[in-house]
């Protein structure tokens, strides 16, 4: 949630506002009660995905999509 702060408060308490932004808060700067700017935390850039990094680490059984055995199916159905 954004917190409105007037320009004078922003100038006086800028480092405290930056600490709040660093903690994840968004700050709205207002002049004469009208919002004019928003200070938001910078989102870190995501590393690009590299396909194939799990090759040889994952195994799927040939019958993974076969119907469940009756006793297990009943446990899921709550019978």
The CATH number assigned to the domain holding 32 equals: 3.40.1620.10
Q: How far is CA 60 from CA 42, 57, 64, 65, 73, in A?
A: 39, 10, 7, 10, 20
Confidence of residue 79 (pLDDT cuts 50, 70, 90): low
Q: How many domains does the chain have?
A: 1
Give the position of tokens 């949630």.
Answer: 1
CA-angle at 20, arms to 14 and 22, nearest 5°: 100
* Residue 73 CB contacts under 8 Å (≥ 6 apart), including other chains: 67
Model pTM score = 0.54
Residue 62, in any domain of the structure? no
Residue 49, in any domain of the structure? no
Q: How many angstroms separate the CA atoms of 41 and 35, rounded?
A: 18
Percent of the chain scoring above 90 in pLDDT: 57
- Domain with 19 in it: 2-39
């Amino acid at each position: 949630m954004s917190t409105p702060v007037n320009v004078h408060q922003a100038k006086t308490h800028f480092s405290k506002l930056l600490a709040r932004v660093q903690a994840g808060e968004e700050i709205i700067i207002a002049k004469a009660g009208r919002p004019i700017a928003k200070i938001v935390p910078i989102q870190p850039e995501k590393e690009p995905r590299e396909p194939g990094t799990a090759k040889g680490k994952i195994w799927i059984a040939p019958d993974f999509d076969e119907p469940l055995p009756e006793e297990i199916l009943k446990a899921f159905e709550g019978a």
